[in-house]
Amino acid sequence: MEEKVDMKKHILNISKIVIFLSICAFLLVYISPIFVPKNNSNQSGIKYENARGFYGENKNTVDVLAIGNSDLYSAMNPLQIWNEQGYTSYVCAEPQQSIFAAYYMLKEVLTCQKPKVVILEVDELFSKNEAEDIDEAINNALKYAFPLFEYHSRWKDLTVNDFQDRDPDYKTRMESKGYIFHNNIKSNPDGFKYLAKNRNASITQTTQMYLKKFIDLAHDHGAEVMFVWFPSATTATTKRHESVQRLSKSLNIPFIDFNIDQFDTGFDWQTDTRDGGNHLNYSGASKITKFLGQYLKENYELTDHRDNPKYVQWNKDYQTFMKKNKLHY
C-alpha cells in the first residue's frame, strides 16, 4: 500500500517536472523571436555581419560556400574568384568559430542557398578537450533551438518594433562576400618552422561526430565537401596535418593544406601576412585564392556566370570592392 502511494507520489512529482520544463521550453520558443535581430546587419544586433551576408544574395546563387574561422576570411576572396573564374562563392567565417557553430551555420545557409561545393576550413577542428567540446556543442544546439541564448544581450536595444514585428527580414548584402580586406604587412621571419612545433594534434570524438554531421548535411543537400587549411603559423603543424589527412582519407573528402604545400602560388611569409603569421594579408589572400579558384574550377562542375545578366550585381560588387580598397583592376 505504502509502495503504491510512493509510486503515485513519484509519478505526480515527475509529471510536475515535465510540465514545468515544457512551460520553460514553450516560453523560450515564444520569447526568442523578440530578441532575434530583425535585420542581418551589425546595427540590428548581428555580431559578424560579414558572415551573414549570404542572406542578401539571390536565392540559390552561391556556387561555393566556405565555412571557417578568421583564417578563412583573411585568405579567401570570393570577388577575386568571381573575376578570375566566373562562379560565385561566399565566405561564412567568424573569429574562433568551432565545428559546432559551423554545422549550424551550414544549416542556416542551406535555408536560402544551394551550394555545389562546401569548403570547411579545418583549423577549427583542433580544440582544447572533450569536455569543452561537449559544452560548446550543447551551447550551439541551444542557440539554434532557442535563439534567445544567442541574442539575450539585445535586452538593452529592444524597441517596440521587436515586440510587434517578430519575423526577421534578412536581405542585407555584403559587397565583400565575407572576405575581410587587410593590406598591411607584418612578416613572419621564421617561415614554415612552425610546422615542427609540438601542439595537441588529436581531434576529439565530439568534433569528429559533428564533422560527420556537417558532411552528411552537405551531402544531403547535394553539395560536395572539401577540406582546406590556409597558411597559419599559430596553429598548423605537420602532426595536425597528418591527423586531418587521416580523417579526410577515412571520410573520402579531398584536402588541400597550404601549410604543407604552397602549389607554386609564390606564397611568402615575409610579405603575405598582416600579423606575423596568424592571418594573411591581401597579397597572401590573392595568391592562395588564385590557386583555390582554379582548383575548384578544374575539379568541380562550376558554371561561369560572368555574362549572365542575373549576376550583374557581382560585377558591380567586384568593382566597388576594388575601388573602395584602392586596388587596380
Partner 1 sequence: MAYTTYVYLILFLGSTFLFYTVFPKKYKWIVLLSASYLYYIAASRLWLVIFILLTTLSVYLSAIWLNRINDLFTSVKKLLDRQQKKEFKEKLLWQKKMVVILMLLINLGALVFLKYYNFFADVLNFALFDFLNIHIPMLKLFLPLGISFYTLQAISYVIDVYRGKYKADRNFGRVALFLTFFPTIVEGPIARYDQVAHQLYEGHSFHYENLTQGTQLILWGMFKKIVIADRANMLVNFVFGDYLKFSGISVVFAIIFYTIQLYTEFSGAMDIVRGSAQIFSVHLPDNFKQPFFAKSINEFWQRWHITLGAWLRDYVFYSVSLSNPFKKFNHFVRNHCNEYLSKLLPATTALFFVWICNGLWHGASMKYVMYGMYYYIIMVIGMFMEPVFYKVKNALHINKETRYFHIFQVLRTVLIVNIGMLIFRADTLSSAFHMFISCFDNFNFDISVLAHLGLSVNDIMVVLIGTIVVFIVGLFKEKGIEIRKSIAKWNIVPRWTFYIVGLFVVIIFGAYGRGYDIVSFIYAQF
Which residues are at the interface with partner 1 (CB under 8 A)?
9-10, 13, 16-17, 20, 23-24, 27-28, 31, 35, 47, 129-132, 134-135, 138-139, 142, 148-150, 152-153, 155-156
Which residue, 35 or 321, has its beta carbon nearer to partner 1?
Answer: 35
User: How far apart are alpha carbons 85 and 305 in whole angstroms?
Assistant: 9
Closer of 146 and 227 to partner 1 (Cβ): 146
Of 46 and 180, which has the nearer Cβ to partner 1? Answer: 46
Strand partners, 90: 65
Q: Provide the angle, in degrees to the nearest 10, between the axes of the packed helices 78-85 and 282-299.
A: 50
Are the C-beta atoms of 258 and 71 separated by less than 8 Å? Answer: no
**Nearest distance from C-beta of residue 16 to partner 1, angstroms:** 8
- Rounded Cα distance between 45 and 159, Å, is 12
**To 10 degrees, the CA torsion angle through 137, 97, 276, 243?**
50
* 141 or 251: CB nearest partner 1: 141
Strand order across the 89-93 sheet: 89-93, 64-68, 117-121, 224-229, 255-257
Nearer to partner 1 by Cβ, of 126 and 227: the residue is: 126
**Closer by beta carbon to partner 1, 47 or else 212:** 47
Do 65 and 197 contact (CB within 8 A), yes or no? no
Question: What span, in angstroms and rounded, lies between the C-alpha atoms of 185 and 270?
Answer: 8
